[in-house]
Structure 1
Amino acid sequence: MMFRGVKTNEDVIVHRSISPGLLALYVDTLVMAIGFYMLVPILSVYFINHLGMSTALAGSIIAVSGLAQNGLRFFCGIAADRIGYKKTIMLGVGIRIVGFTLYGIVDHAAGYAVAAFISGLGGALFHPASFGAYARTTSEEMKTRIFSIRETLSNVGFILGPVIGMLLLRFDFSLVCFSSAFMFALAFLLSWILLPQMEGESLKGQKLFPIVKKICKDKSFLGFCLLVIGVWALNVQLYLSVPVRAKVLLESVDSVSYLYMAGAVFMVLLQIPLLQILSNKIKQLHIMALGTFILGLSMLMFSFAEGFWSMLGAVLIFTLGQMLVVPTMNLLISSFSDSHSFATYFGFTGWSFAIGGFLGNTGGGYLHDLAINSQYSFVPWITLFLFGSFISIIFYRIGNASLQGNEVDSKTVTENEG
């Protein structure tokens, strides 16, 4: 399969000025990331340790949010391209405010599940709209840098949010929920005041079926989405395989939080300069190949880890893979779409994230369960490494094929496996 028209960033002119709309998106991203990570990472802690829920029940409630957010992103992306990115972002943020507030009001599992669904629906609305807005306010040459900055700001939120959330949890869980909702209320206000409308090229007059038909005919994009399933199945291992290994090697599973924080700091410091260097020299598909291989390699490193410091090394290698994969993946998604359908394409990939997350969690969990107390404890790690290497090879071959067929276009149209 060949993806043609995916460019290297040669002869790039770097523009230093930032438009007010882009600055507003940056601030929105940071504020919402802090609000999100104040609450979501501690939900399982609260459900299990404070409410006495089983791990299965707590996981099921949390999964409702992810399934709602990723499963509905495509339809919400279509809505964003129709009614405009600003309106959709504000609608999604408003709905998430309701969901996070509800977490602090209810006191039973069904209520928490409803709160999770509402929160996920809000994310399904504003995530593709936000990515579409980033793509619309950014020149083609600057997209790699812009998406890298976005991921960096998100990781700043990942560093600050849990610290604030755990501090507030000492007082009351409701205080955590209401504070998180307040951060999203602040983002709502900033979006209302600072974001431009971005409605000029929406698909108001277009019906749903032609949009779906258009994407279903885009074989290159569908092939890319299949690969994203594999990439995301590896990506979710950070929240599955790392705690599993930590339980075996470390005195306290609480040490995992320090590993995550170290990874986030590592990403904040290095992501932008690293991608600036690579994107000027290497094709995006080859960056995806390298990043996916590194994700798989980190799984192999976890199998050889013997304590905290070797675990930290493996986490940093995993983070390096994420630094390459996530912003490059967002750039590639934007390259498939036209100016009318940024959010629709970003929304469609939500299904890849949902499927990849489900397969990564269930498949990885199944492998780890099989390996418990057996002489084949290395099998999950070897399997994940081989899986990552396989996906990496596919990306590399597609990158070579598109390099040979060097017809640079904003749209990728040719499929040719072999």
Structure 2
Amino acid sequence: MFGMPGHMKLKKDIWVLLSSILIIHLAAYLIVPIFPILLKTEKKLNPSEVGLVIGAGSLFIQLGSIIAGLIADRLGNKITIILGNALQFIALLGLGLSTNTLPLIAFSGLNGVGTGIYVPTAKSAISYLATQEEATTAFSLRAVAANIGTSIAGIFVLFIATNMNFFVGGIIYGILIVISWILLPKGCGDQPCPSLPLRDYINIFKHKTFVIFSLISALIWGIHTQLALLLPLRGEAILGNVNKIGIIWTITSIIVILLQSMISRGFLEKRSPMLSLVIGTALLGIGITLIGWSNTFVSLIIYSIIFIFGQMFMMPTMDNITKLIADPSLLGAYFAVANLASGVGGAFGAFASGRLVDLYGIVDSPIPWVTYGILSVVTVLLLQLPSMRKIKA
């Protein structure tokens, strides 16, 4: 199923977590494909303000990540995940009700905290439940589950792309809280959740290889964030139809559903993780740069697919590298810090893009798009550092 080896059967609890991931992406991607447009048209924000609101969500992911690491051992993965979902539920309702910049920034930040709590906790829960042999498959299926939710949401956006999406997404989060309370496994698999005092985070920052990897991953996530911000703005400018943008997410998500496990089994599991990350980063850069030269719906789809191929190489590999270089007794803390890096990178990417679009426009100048291309080349070169090349599965 989904390219999973026939002899490998994942635990029921992993499938429950994967189902949770599917639902949460359904809720989130009712908003993500059109979030910049809703902020621009429904909330009347300028591009810099749009970047601030979206960047606040990414920035506060890091706070949520630290909170997750500090409380997961005390409350368990189940309660921690439910807490993250509850904050996202409140945030989406708040975003729907708000009309001014400061409340929008605040609720976007709250959504970031909820995301920051949920994502590393779900990843570490999968890591605890999966054996090393199952890890790549489990993380690949995580991507498949996420994209099933994303593809369904994209179809919904084709018909409804208004402020109402915030409320629908919030209701789905509310339903997920109930489902999670009933079905999610307690604890950390077959072992108790380890205590993660603050000093453990300090020790993690003494892990040179992981610190370097985290800094580079922040750049990668800065590139990755651009699709959610720039594709909607570019699409609206050249198409004049917000609803079509959701279809692009549906198409790319279906491609991930069909091909992610094939790529994982045929390449990611057989090749160096750093080679996979180099390929993924290069494709992200190529995709987002070409979107800046697209002028038709078809070209937007093609360049978005290039970007998504990069994501299929990048995302499972990032998770697997974190598990490879982490202290097994501190997986939750390592994933929390890794998520912190993604939040910082995403926030920087959103802030910078908002400012670039304000200065140069979304269709008037190649400067923003050339900038993203140069950043991706620099990141690929950083992945060639000796400490990175030593990382092996």
> TM-score with structure 2 length normalisation?
0.85
Q: Give the aligned partner of residue 81 of structure 2.
A: 89
Q: Give the aligned partner of residue 6 of structure 1.
A: none
Give, in angstroms, the shift of residue 215 of structure 1. Answer: 0.6
Query: 2:193 matched to 1:207?
Result: no
Change (3 A) 1:39 1:238: closer
Give, in angstroms, the shift of residue 135 of structure 1. Answer: 0.7
Change (3 A) 1:178 1:289: same
Give, in angstroms, the shift of residue 267 of structure 1. Answer: 1.8
Contact 2:152–2:250 (Cα < 8 Å) also in 1: no
Give, in angstroms, the shift of residue 15 of structure 1. Answer: 4.2
Change (3 A) 1:143 1:14: farther
The structure having more radius of gyration, on CA atoms, is 1
Supply the AA of the counterpart residue of 1:325: M
Q: Give the aligned partner of residue 415 of structure 1.
A: none
Residues 78-97 of structure 1, C-alpha deviation per residue, up to 9 Å, x if partnerless? 32244321221122223333
Equivalent in 386, 392, 400 of residue 380 of structure 2? 392
Change (3 A) 1:100 1:237: closer
Q: Which residues of 2 match residues 25-64 of structure 1 at below 5 A?
A: 25-64=17-56
Change (3 A) 1:327 1:251: same
Q: Give the aligned partner of residue 413 of structure 1.
A: none
Equivalent in 119, 124, 128 of residue 132 of structure 1? 124
> 2: CA distance between counterparts of 1:333 and 1:25?
19
> 2: CA distance between counterparts of 1:108 and 1:244?
20
> 2: CA distance between counterparts of 1:16 and 1:122?
33
Q: Which residues of 2 match residues 2-401 of structure 1 at below 5 A?
A: 15-104=7-96, 110-164=102-156, 167=159, 173=164, 176-199=165-188, 200-204=191-195, 207-208=197-198, 210-243=199-232, 245-246=234-235, 249-250=238-239, 252=241, 255-302=244-291, 305-367=294-356, 377-396=365-384, 398=386, 401=389
Give, in angstroms, the shift of residue 45 of structure 1. Answer: 4.0
Change (3 A) 1:372 1:42: closer
The number of residues matched between the two structures is: 388
SS of equivalent to 2:350: helix
Residues 180-226 of structure 1, C-alpha deviation per residue, up to 9 Å, x if partnerless? 2332233223322222222544333x531x21221111000000001
> 1: CA distance between counterparts of 2:179 and 2:363?
54
Structure 1: gaps (5+ residues):
1-11, 409-418
> 1: CA distance between counterparts of 2:237 and 2:45?
23
Give, in angstroms, the shift of residue 381 of structure 1. Answer: 3.4
SS of equivalent to 1:38: coil
Change (3 A) 1:81 1:338: farther
Residues 294-314 of structure 1, C-alpha deviation per residue, up to 9 Å, x if partnerless? 222224534554533333222
Structure 2: gaps (5+ residues):
none
> 2: CA distance between counterparts of 1:258 and 1:239?
14
> 2: CA distance between counterparts of 1:272 and 1:336?
23
Q: Output the aligned Cα RMSD.
A: 3.3
Percent identity over the alignment is 22
SS of equivalent to 2:60: helix
> TM-score with structure 1 length normalisation?
0.80
Supply the AA of the counterpart residue of 2:18: Y
> 1: CA distance between counterparts of 2:46 and 2:356?
21
> 2: CA distance between counterparts of 1:42 and 1:16?
38
SS of equivalent to 1:264: helix
